[in-house]
Amino acid sequence: MRILLLGVLFGLLASSVQAQEGLQPKYEISPNIAKVPEQSDFFGAWTRGDGGYTIEVAPSAAIDGVVVKYFNPDSINVERSNFDLTGEEPRLQFVLRDTGYPGSSYELSFLSERRVLIGTYSRPGSQPSQVYFINQAE
């Protein structure tokens, strides 16, 4: 009797597991899942979303680790540029120092889901404005 009862229980358990396996969703790793940004994601030529402004970001052997060139459409002097960490993600910061750009600055993060740089543009004495840059290679 005990053997028969154990056999019935194992049979019910096996059929229950098979039924549940059919209900489980099939998950696959999508290549579109956003990755954690890193400094190399910032490198390249970028155009600001409202047009006319471009930046070129390249690695540097200097302590700051980055060289930024800014154009509107002519070259504008970049006083300094560096990467900072926000949480564990890099943020690009650079300050402009030229005619019409007395200390204007950008703080940009890489939004991996959209492959764009997003952040703020600040002019001394004005409220920061939201900006984004699109990679020219894409």
Among 8-12, 49-53, 103-107, the range with the most confident prediction by mean pLDDT is 103-107
Q: Tell me which architecture the domain covering 39-135 has in CATH.
A: Beta Barrel (2.40)
* 91-135 pLDDT tens trace: 999 999 999 999 999 999 999 889 999 999 999 999 999 999 999
Domain ranges, ordered by start, for the chain: 39-135
The per-residue pLDDT for range 54-78, each reduced to its tens digit, is: 999 999 887 668 999 999 999 999 9
Q: How far apart are CA 114 and CA 26, in angstroms?
A: 26
Give the strand order in the sheet containing 116-122.
75-76, 66-71, 54-59, 44-48, 129-135, 116-122, 101-111, 89-98, 78-86
Angstrom distances, CA of residue 46 to CA of 49, 71, 95, 128, 137: 9, 10, 17, 20, 8
pTM of the model: 0.73
